[in-house]
Structure 1
Amino acid sequence: MRIPLIAALVSGACISAFSATAAFAQEADASDNVYERDHLTIGVGALYGPSYEGSDDETFSPIPVVQGRYKGIEVNPRTRGLAFNLIPSTRGSKIDFSAGPVFGVSFNRNRRIKDDVVRAAGKLDAAIEVGGTAGVTVNRLLNPYDSLTVSADVKWDVNGAYGGMVWQPQVTYMTPVSKAMVVAVNARAHHADGDYARYYYSVTPEQSAASGLPVYEAKSGWDTVGLGALVGYDLSGDLRDGGFALFGALNYSAMLKDGKNTPYTSLRGSSDQWTVGAGIAYTF
């Protein structure tokens, strides 16, 4: 049983929609469950959260959602991106594996910078990230329909922004609480290499002169850890039949080490990062 859209949502709290994938698959024929065959989920929502990583200014952001499966290949959302699972799942299996490419775009400190001092330091280029994802899901842990997924994404910037590598391990637990409602919780961490840390957390002499912030040199390391939760509700009252569904999500991230100590966070922002989101999705 896979809940890739939920896992992606709670892991970033920046993608938003949910897919109640096979929540009650064991008690229904495959023909009665939209998630047991080729399907597509599309949706839209809004997020309210920090304007950049480490900011204490919040902004609203629209969030499109795309998730689905076609001939065994799954397309799952990521924060401003997509991931593909090329390993078909087996109906009723105890353990599922996933692996495939992942793509994303990062607009960190590229737009919607509310802080005048941080904006004076200069906008950064958008990063285009390409990499891979892999994970393992254990089904039916505490009840016939729940799952625990351990996974990791590894991505490289190919647009010449930070020009380095990041990776994010995460653990997601999902369980339906009724035929209409599903909940998921997620824990994760984010590791930045030296290129990423220098680009986003260092303050160069030029940036210092423009903004008044002190010069700062950042290094590689774990820069964030986080927890997230999501609740999804199917408007028809049955998760299996697709159609319209509502979702709400809450996410907390703590900036660590240079992510916390950089002047962009310590002097102009906050190491405590909260994001809330809500929206609607349609599955067919």
Structure 2
Amino acid sequence: MKKKIGLMILPSLAVPLSAGNGAWAADPGEFGAGGPVAPTSERPGGIRGKLHDWNVVVGAGAVYGPKFEGSKDFEVMPVPFVSASFFNDYVHVGPTGLLIDIYKVENFKISASGGMEFGRDEDDSDHLKGLGDIDSGAKIGGVISYSLGPIELSAGIDKIIGGSDGVTGTFGAEYSHMVGQFIFSAGASATWADKNYMKSYFGVTPLQSARSGLEVYDAGAGFKRIDLTASVTYLSSEHWFIRGQAELGILTGDARNSPVVQKETQPSVMMFVGYKF
């Protein structure tokens, strides 16, 4: 689905942007017991100062990627982006939803998450005609992460309420390193999905087969894809940044063998310009 491609790429923006120098990090004293910090040349007052406190990032860019997961056809899609952090970086809001850190100790963190699963429309591609739409649904879940210097390991699980009514789990690792005004990042992840999810996105029922011409297919639970990402972020000033990212998704298991899938490799590229208050 068109909405989904951008959201698959944007979540990793938050990690490199927090790995920079002091100009890009949260000010530790701004939420202390002493109350609001007085405006300075580095921290403005008023609304702009509040946006600075909240680590608000806004931006826009474009993604060139598949029309749907498994598509052989590609398109360019605009990608807006807004994110913010509250309460001393314990609450994060971004394009994929809400993340609340409920436990932190040294390099270990447990977070609760919420968001939306945007489903899929059969109008996204002629290849999907006859399969019907997959409705949007709410997502609730959790994430466990552990940092080892520049490397972050993570594991997350999401339950979708509505839509596919499925469960997905993602296991990944990401490396970020700053050199001058550049942040270089690379990551890898694997995504598992239960039978409900796989049946919705990759299965074909007898009725769908009759309408679409695709063969009947029963997709079972398992790992559905592996993703490899690489990005470069240039911090052009204290507030502005430019980012380029490339991603290669590889469908696996029953997802790869589904008649819904036209191509098992799913590359995408993104260019993005942002501003941090």
Q: TM-score range by the shorter chain?
A: 0.7 to 0.9
Report if the CA contact (8 A) 2:84-2:92 is conserved.
yes
Residues 11 and 163 of structure 1: CA distance in aligned 2, closer, same or farther (over 3 Å):
closer
- Deviation digits for residues 206-264 of structure 1, max 9, x if unmatched? 1001011010101000010110011111112xxxx3x1111111000100011100101
Distance 1:221 1:206 in 2: 24
For the residue of structure 2 that corresponds to 1:124, the secondary structure is: coil
Q: Which position in structure 1 is the counterpart of 2:204?
A: 203
Residues 234 and 205 of structure 1: CA distance in aligned 2, closer, same or farther (over 3 Å):
same
From 78, 103, 126, the counterpart of 1:62? 78
Q: Which position in structure 2 is the counterpart of 1:167?
A: 169
Q: Which position in structure 2 is the counterpart of 1:156?
A: 159
Q: Offset of 1:15 from its aligned partner?
A: 4.4
Alignment length (residue pairs)? 246
For the residue of structure 1 that corresponds to 2:151, the secondary structure is: strand
Q: Which position in structure 1 is the counterpart of 2:21?
A: 24
Distance 1:23 1:56 in 2: 37
| Percent of paired sites with the same residue | 26
Return the TM-score normalized by structure 1: 0.78
From 237, 246, 249, the counterpart of 1:253? 249
- Deviation digits for residues 79-129 of structure 1, max 9, x if unmatched? x3342334468xxxxx52222222232334226612x23123222212321
For the residue of structure 1 that corresponds to 2:26, the secondary structure is: helix
Moved >4 Å (runs of 4+)? 14-19
From 116, 139, 147, the counterpart of 1:129? 139
Q: Which position in structure 1 is the counterpart of 2:182?
A: 181
Q: Which position in structure 2 is the counterpart of 1:275?
A: 268
- Deviation digits for residues 29-75 of structure 1, max 9, x if unmatched? xxx65434432222222211111111111123332323333332141
Q: Which position in structure 2 is the counterpart of 1:218?
A: 219
For the residue of structure 2 that corresponds to 1:203, the secondary structure is: coil
Distance 1:96 1:151 in 2: 12
Return the TM-score normalized by structure 2: 0.80
- Flag structure 1 segments of 5+ consecutive residues without an equivalent: 1-8, 26-31, 90-94, 140-146
- Flag structure 2 segments of 5+ consecutive residues without an equivalent: 29-52
Q: Does 1:120 align with 2:117?
A: no
Report if the CA contact (8 A) 1:10-1:186 is conserved.
no
- Structure with more relative contact order (C-alpha pairs < 8 Å, separation 6 or more): 1
Q: Which position in structure 2 is the counterpart of 1:5?
A: none
Report if the CA contact (8 A) 1:44-1:279 is conserved.
yes
Report if the CA contact (8 A) 1:17-1:43 is conserved.
no
Distance 1:118 1:81 in 2: 27
Q: Does 1:75 align with 2:92?
A: yes
Distance 1:251 1:136 in 2: 23
